[in-house]
Chain A
């Protein structure tokens, strides 16, 4: 069953996390920013589940992953609502245009 070693999972997760982080830093579309954040959360889920599978003393990792999915959904709902509110007022979804508040 455990033919694929743990490191492979961790590596894929780390890669996902970096893709998410780079996407967050480079992209300027607010929806893409939110998606990048989701990617980072998925990397976390993969790490949690992989660790749990290879040392299954309890199921805390899997359960944590479920919680992360649920909370991420709530956060995405609020996030999208706020992006929508922003769009209604400003007619744009580019993060560069959020420039009313700055030094």
Chain B
């Protein structure tokens, strides 16, 4: 990497974030000043900014813009950041499309505010993916957390929504407190907040002492609290089911995908840049010094998957079941990471992409079904859906099969890459973790299949066809098509991911 750029010259590479910042201010102004077409105009501004953010990032990857340190090394500009920027812009755009009808209702509370907050969240997640400095990691994580708290409690007078926000804020505060304490130790050891300086100091001390220094180990374990909270990994997953159930469904869909993707982005960058723990698995010998981290992440992965899947089994509320399933999926993704290899990073990035399609889609269907059944989100609301709303039911089946990881869906390909990245590192430990992962996939089949059975094999009390908003049909199809296509023809996307990661050192 070349010398970090100074503040002024960095701005040329900061286009996506500048566009988002501009849009945030514009939406606030628009909401204050304009009386007609308030929502439509604000949405148009938001979509324009997201298009700029994604477009500039695609251009950066395609043109091979290389990697640079921006703002004196606080932030990275590389393919890795660009990849996550595209993904995050896509997720935000999808969630805005979902929530458009409810925002346009007369009774909608502060639609302009909702759009503004989502854009701030997008900006924060972009910065998370780009952070190369402990201070930036902390600030971007907090930016995302604080806005998420507000969004989770957006329905102010709803008891469930306010309780969800409450649990979110309390757990979030503790997780970020523990993470900060860990950061202070890393700072104490290396006298610097830059990830590359920490890497140099850690490597020096490790060579001296023959093992990872205790303070660094404690620091990293504490920092995992913050990361684990963001990706909802055990033992920091407790907030997930409650917040997902209580928050408005559009917000839940967003929280289950966006912050999780950004959390993985920042965590993988931290481990590869600050600890130098991510290696090319094919170079033998280097794997040894990644050992404590590989075991740490492996344990987290196994615990997360098992807790997520076992708790999902008995759930009656589909939203809550999907919350536990999203915990389990964080576990699968950690699985790819526990090998600490570059292939693993690529496999996670690819899985995050497929996960975005299938999970957003599943939540969208829940939203559509709940709307038809007066807010009922239990499994019972899905009874006989195969006859009453065939398109919706088939699309839901695609998402659920994909989440289970059955071929020919995208989820299968994603999981295949995760497991093969883990096994490529070899060793008994990798095999143990992989076996637990496979067993968990089998468990997950039970609760996904339950929804499928109810949809297609059981009859509803009412048999007349349900009217689903055309918007829901179109967007859920738009998410189901990539879920299917990526399951049979994934190589262009996978190659794109690998190419964009090539610049990460």
Contact = CB atoms under 8 A, between A and B. Distances in A.
Interface in B159-202: 159-160, 162-167, 169-170, 172-174, 176-178, 180-181, 183-185, 187-188, 191-193
Given A79-B173, A82-B166, A86-B162, A48 B156 contact: no
A47 B311 CA distance: 38
A15 interface: no
B150 A78 contact: yes
Nearest to A42: B177
A33 to B, nearest CB: 6
Contacts of B134: 64
Interface residues of B, number: 46
Interface residues of A, number: 43
B188 A51 contact: yes
Interface in B132-170: 134-135, 138-139, 142, 145-146, 149-150, 153, 156-160, 162-167, 169-170
A75 B177 CA distance: 11
A29 to B, nearest CB: 12
B314 interface: yes
Contact of A67 (B138, B159, B192): B138
A47 B185 contact: yes
Contacts, number: 125
A22 interface: no
A74 B163 contact: no
B187 A64 contact: yes
Contact of B159 (A47, A51, A100): A100
Contact of B169 (A57, A60, A78): A78
Contact of B153 (A51, A82, A101): A82
Contacts of A48: 184, 187
Task: With a 10 A CB-CB cut-off, give which of A40, A44, A58 has the most chain B CB atoms.
Answer: A44
A61 B146 CA distance: 23
A82 B185 contact: no
A17 B157 CA distance: 35
Interface string A78-91: 11001101101110
Contacts of A24: 174
Interface in A65-103: 67-68, 71, 74-75, 78-79, 82-83, 85-86, 88-90, 95, 98, 100-103
A101 B239 CA distance: 10
A52 B134 CA distance: 15
B242 interface: yes
A37 B170 CA distance: 8
Interface in A41-60: 41, 43-44, 47-48, 51-52, 55, 57-58, 60
A19 interface: no
A90 B193 CA distance: 43
A84 to B, nearest CB: 9
B315 to A, nearest CB: 8
Contact of B241 (A63, A64, A95, A101): A101
Contact of B135 (A40, A58, A64, A82): A64
Contacts of B242: 101-102
Given A61-B184, A95-B170, A101-B163, 15 more contacts: A30-B170, A40-B178, A40-B180, A44-B180, A61-B187, A64-B134, A64-B183, A75-B142, A75-B176, A82-B166, A85-B153, A85-B165, A89-B157, A102-B242, A103-B314
The 3 A-B residue pairs with the shortest CB-CB distance, nearest first, are: A40-B177, A51-B188, A47-B184
14 contacts: A34-B173, A37-B173, A58-B191, A60-B193, A64-B187, A67-B135, A68-B180, A75-B145, A75-B146, A75-B173, A79-B173, A82-B162, A85-B162, A95-B170
Interface of A: 17, 20-21, 24, 30, 33-34, 37, 40-41, 43-44, 47-48, 51-52, 55, 57-58, 60-61, 63-64, 67-68, 71, 74-75, 78-79, 82-83, 85-86, 88-90, 95, 98, 100-103
